[in-house]
Structure 1
Amino acid sequence: MTERGRFIRPLATRSIAVDVAWAALAAFVFLLPIDLALEQASLAAVLTASGAIALRRISPSASMFMMVVLGIVQVGGSERPSLVDLAMFVVIGTVAVVGTRTEVIVAGVLAFLAGVGATFYLAATGFRFLVLINGPRDQAFLALAAPVTALLGVWAGGLALRAFRSRDRESERRADAEAAASRAEAVATRAEATATRAIDVAESERIRVDIARDVHDVVGHSLAVIIAQADSVPFLDDEARIREVSATIASTARSSLVEVRQVLGQIDGSSTTTDPGSLDAIVQGIREAGVHVDHTVRGTPVILGPEPGTAARRVLQEMLTNALRHGAPGATVVVRETWRGADLVFEVENPVGDGSTGGSGRGTAGMESRLTALGGSFDAAVLDGVFTARARIPYDVQGGPVR
């Protein structure tokens, strides 16, 4: 908004027609034959003064220019003071209220110059005014200062009204700004509440996905071991061996049940550390299912924290389950466990089977998702009939090396 716009806006509700009507009324009054010891103004002076009144809000600069023209008309026509001179007070006061800063300054200068000019004009042409300025000193001073004082007084009054209106508008703007800030704060609060609910929903969904993934890994691994051992029972003729296999099946089922309960209870082993011995137990469970496992460990095993420890157990379970389900029967499964300074790497290799037990791919996707969340990685490929899976699990050391 321009500077003028800031001051015209409060007055903009007054239409041009209203200002023109006031100008017409002023012209009518100026032309009335009223005996106020003042001379009748000329038609040119009346039209100029009325035009200035009509334009005082629309174009303060043009209105002040017409006041200069009015002075020229009166001096050029040797006119005496009349009612049209009131237009000068109306224009000066209005410009002080609604004009731009530059127009306000020009109005002040115009008020001073018009007052001084009126004093000299009256002193040169007016007998009554000449008598006043030739009287006592105080009377002369008041007479000389009256035109300037009157015009500057109207200008100062306009400035005061301008300041009051500006203060009121500033208060309104402040109130509007505070209301807008309150509305924005309310919107932000609602948005924050919505975002919080969305985060809660996302967190709940993430927990459900994690539970489903963990149940898949735990149950899938345990059932694969149990099925493999159960399938071998009909081929055993040694009662002691049958009892041993049955005990292993029961132990695996109980262990699986405990882990499932932990998962469903949101415990999932996340509050405890993981000893490397639990990883050996997973490999041993596959061996007891009748699979030959070539397990090698390189580096110095350490105790893992809750998240990497859980990831290590679940990933190793899923990798061995895949080898048990989809590998060639009777083939050796190679497990390489490498402990490095900041991560644990599992590599599992097994000859591929005939494809009759192809999986859904959910386990592989679950391992990749789990490790990506920890900053690790998972990849798998088949090369020359051998399925190779590699998992890298970053970790922070929770304890010293395992002795």
Structure 2
Amino acid sequence: MTERRTFIRPLATRSIIVDVAWAAFAAFVFVLPVDFGLEHASFPAVVAAAAAIALRRLSPSGAMIMVVILGFVQVQGYERPSLVDVALFVVIGTTAVVGSKAEAVLAGALALVAGVGATVYLAYTGYRFAMLVTGPADRAVLALAAPVTSLLAVWAGGLAVRAFRSRNQESAKRADAEAAASRAAAAATQAEAVATRAVDVAESERIRADIARDVHDVVGHSLAVIIAQADSVPFLDDEARIREVSATIASTARSSLVEVRQVLGHIDGSGATTDPGSLDEIVQGIREAGVDVDHTVRGTPRTLGPDTGTAARRVLQEMLTNALRHGAPGLPVVVRETWRSADLVLEVENVPGDGSTAGSGRGVEGMQSRLSALGGSFDAAVLDDVFAARARIPFDVHGGTNR
């Protein structure tokens, strides 16, 4: 608690014991039968002085009350100045150092009032003091000012110590605050480094996922075409046709190798635009694999930007690969390109097979992920025994121009 009470304040047990010990020692000195050139104080005055010394840090207000009581005891008993008056100086100085602001101000007022009161009391009751007052002017001024000046000097010294301690405490607090700020900055730097590493890891995972998806699309499509071409070779009697199919297999393999190298090099075709003719090449590759493809184009084709061009090529490859793998053999595949003002819609329809070649579903998830990143969409469903896949690919903001 920070609230100060009127007479008692929290203090360490060790400090209380020290103050009580000093009070006991002072009381012992006050009652010693030794002649210090001062009169011996009465027992009530000794008790009041010792209590004031004991309370000076525990309760400065209580200590000031005790020195006021000490003054009344001395005045009522017509006592002369003695060692017990040291308690007044101790209490005023200590209160100026450790008391609250109000208590420090009261200590200054007590010093002034006690000094004036002591001067008046000694002037009317003390023979030697009265002689000094009525003597030469310089001595009279010194005698009159001595009690007040000495008490105010002790009070001012206490205030100086208080200010010095306050400055040291502020310096310590400032140092603690700077240390806390340094620790907070270090923690923030560490947190930023952790966050950066997390972002780097996330980016690395994203790149790996993109590479895996692209490799799946490229290799899956190429292998599907190559397998279809290779399966047809045993049934061909025309040597020219066999050479043509072999050339197609080689061309497909070389094209796939180039695209895989681009993906693994994280090029992914993003450095160039994609011409709609490349979509025709994909369709033609499926036709050369022996699949009847009904390909129609509506609208005005346009040159696609890097992102949309790559997406269109990969999505069409995957849709045709799925049709080749999972469609009923010997039945045609329908491919429709619809070029609209803001997007390209690719649709692939085929009759599904008997389900013996069910896939892992990774291709569909890859297409959905790729198109979602561009703001597009992908959906597929079986309608009237026909498997229909539809992809919508929005153009780049700074996309290609009409051809």
Secondary structure of the equivalent of 1:375?
coil
Alignment partner, residue 105 of structure 1: 105
Q: Which residue of structure 2 lines up, in the alignment, with residue 310 of structure 1?
A: 310
Secondary structure (helix, strand or coil) at the match of 2:317 reads helix
Matched, 1:203 2:203: yes
Residues 136-145 or 190-199, more deviating: 190-199
Aligned mates of 1:72, 1:377 — CA distance in 2 = 98
Structure 2 CA distance, aligned partners of 1:147 and 1:300? Answer: 110
Query: d(CA) in 1 for partners of 2:20 and 2:240?
Result: 120
User: Is 1:331 the counterpart of 2:364 in the alignment?
Assistant: no
Residues 401 and 373 of structure 1: is their aligned pair in 2 closer, same or farther, counting only changes over 3 Å?
closer
The within-5 A match list for 1:166-205 is 166-205=166-205
Deviations 1:91-140 (CA, angstroms, capped at 9, x unpaired): 11111111222222222222222222222222232222222222233322
For the 8 Å contact 1:218–1:256, the answer to whether it is kept is yes
Distance 1:261 1:157, change over 3 A: same
Query: What does 1:352-391 correspond to in 2, within 5 Å?
Result: 352-391=352-391
TM-aligned CA deviation for residue 145 of structure 1: 2.0
Give CA-to-partner distance per residue, 1:163-219, whole Å, 9 cap, x none: 222222222333333333333333333333333333333333332222221111100
Q: 1:397 to 1:279 in 2, by over 3 A?
A: farther
For residues 124 and 394 of structure 1, the distance between their equivalents in structure 2, rounded to whole angstroms, comes to 109
Aligned equivalents of 1:386, 1:281: Cα separation in 2: 25
Aligned counterparts, 1:38-187, within 5 A: 38-187=38-187
Does the CA contact (< 8 Å) of 1:97 and 1:158 recur in 2? yes
SS in 2 for 1:24: helix
Change (3 A) 1:77 1:385: farther
- The letter for the 2-side match of 1:204 is S
**1:347–1:101 Cα change, 3 Å:** farther
**Structure 1 unaligned blocks of 5 or more:** none
1:216-264 CA-to-partner distances (Å, cap 9, x unmatched) read: 1100011111112222233333433333222222211110011011112
CA distance in 2, matches of 1:103, 1:296: 99
Stretch moving more, 314-323 or 185-194? 185-194
Q: Distance in 1 between matches of 2:277 and 2:198?
A: 41
Residue identity matched to 2:138: D
The range that moved more, 221-230 or 71-80, is 71-80
Cα distance in 2, alignment partners of residues 143 and 340 from structure 1:
111
- Alignment RMSD: 2.6
Provide the residue aligned with 2:237 in structure 1.
237
Q: Which moved more, 1:49-58 or 1:238-247?
A: 238-247
| Distance of aligned partners of 1:124 and 1:280 in 2 relative to their CA distance in 1, 3 Å threshold | farther
SS in 1 for 2:181: helix
Contact 1:3 1:100 in 2 (8 A): no
Q: The residue matched to 2:303 in structure 1 has which SS?
A: strand
Tell me by how many angstroms 1:361 deviates: 0.8
Contact 1:4 1:98 in 2 (8 A): no
Query: CA separation of 1:13/1:168 partners in 2, compared to 1, >3 Å: closer, same or farther?
Result: farther
Does the Cα contact within 8 Å between 1:111 and 1:155 map onto a contact in 2? yes
**Residue in 2 that maps onto 1:258:** 258
Alpha-carbon distance between aligned partners in 2 of 1:341 and 1:107, rounded to the nearest angstrom: 90
Secondary structure of the residue aligned to 1:120 is helix
Structure 2 residue aligned with 1:296: 296
**Does the aligned pair in 1 maintain the 2:93–2:155 contact within 8 Å?**
yes
- Which residue identity lines up with residue 145 of structure 2 in the other structure? A
* AA in 1 matched with 2:396: D
TM-score, normalised relative to structure 1: 0.90
Whether contact under 8 Å (1:116, 1:148) holds in the other structure is yes
- Give me the whole-angstrom Cα distance separating, in 2, the residues matched to 1:342 and 1:94: 86
Amino acid at match of 1:125: T
CA contact (8 A) 2:307 2:396 kept: no
Q: Corresponding residue for 1:37? A: 37
Taking the aligned partners of 1:46 and 1:180, their CA distance within structure 2 comes to 50
Give 1:163's aligned amino acid: A
Match of 2:109, SS state, is: helix
Matches of 2:68 and 2:360, distance apart in 1:
96
The Cα shift of 1:86 comes to 0.9
- The percentage of aligned residue pairs carrying the same residue is 79
Once the 2 structures are TM-superposed, how far is the Cα of residue 397 of structure 1 from its aligned partner? 4.7
2:391 alignment partner, SS class: strand
| 1: CA distance, partners of 2:161 / 2:13 | 18
Partner amino acid, structure 2, of 1:347 = E
Letter in 2 for 1:150: S
Moved more, 78-87 or 216-225: 78-87
SS at structure 1 position matched to 2:353? coil
Larger CA deviation: 144-153 vs 74-83: 74-83
